[in-house]
A and B are shown apart, each in its own frame.
Chain A
Amino acid sequence: KAGVTQTPRYLIKTRGQQVTLSCSPISGHRSVSWYQQTPGQGLQFLFEYFSETQRNKGNFPGRFSGRQFSNSRSEMNVSTLELGDSALYLCASSYGGGFGRGTEQFFGPGTRLTVL
């Protein structure tokens, strides 16, 4: 079974631009979560999508948005990029949604975004 894939793996943008990141979950998984990892803050939860609906949202500004398609693939968009958005963006999928409790999340390798 193929793992979680994320594209692109690396991205360089300039301040003010927008960016779209893509995540393909493991086949059969319906939940996709997004995380931001920075050296100073560790992993921070952005949002979770389940069956094309945003089910949970972390504490990030509205510039961060996402969506999920009928095939469970998900995209994350960041508008009006700021220097502080430079980070590793991780996507994780699970079958039934949730975190742990028997519904283990599988992470992709991440997209490294650099904002200049």
Chain B
Amino acid sequence: DQQVKQNSPSLSVQEGRISILNCDYTNSMFDYFLWYKKYPAEGPTFLISISSIKDKNEDGRFTVFLNKSAKHLSLHIVPSQPGDSAVYFCAASAGSPGGSYIPTFGRGTSLIVHP
């Protein structure tokens, strides 16, 4: 049972336009969400996060929106650049008794930004 779903395996966008990557989750206990970016032959790198007490977090060209009632979050990249071409993973976590927060990842969306 997939608790974090990225229903679009790939997305193609023109340079300068907006890229919108979507993520849905089913576990209402999730209270912290992150986006990671992964280039081929490299490990994922942290991009941006959002706590469930917020509905928006912005960092430069990247903005994450959280809709708790719909259990949906999205990552907006504006403007998109060819260097943004990568696989984007959505991840979610909830507090655990051990004190750390075991993450659940989506399967990723491959973003291609055309020059």
Contacts and interface: CB of A to CB of B under 8 A. Distances in A.
Interface of A: 4, 31, 35, 40-45, 48, 50, 55-56, 58, 90, 92, 97-101, 104-110
A107 B49 CA distance: 16
Contacts, number: 70
Given A42-B89, A99-B34, A100-B49, 17 more contacts: A42-B108, A43-B91, A44-B105, A45-B102, A45-B105, A50-B100, A55-B99, A56-B100, A98-B101, A99-B32, A99-B91, A99-B103, A100-B32, A106-B43, A107-B36, A107-B43, A110-B43
Interface string B17-50: 0000000000000001010100001111110010
Interface string B48-63: 0101000000000000
B105 A99 contact: no
B44 A43 contact: yes
Interface of B: 32, 34, 36, 41-46, 49, 51, 89, 91, 93, 96, 98-108
Contacts of A44: 105
A50 B49 CA distance: 23
Nearest to A50: B100
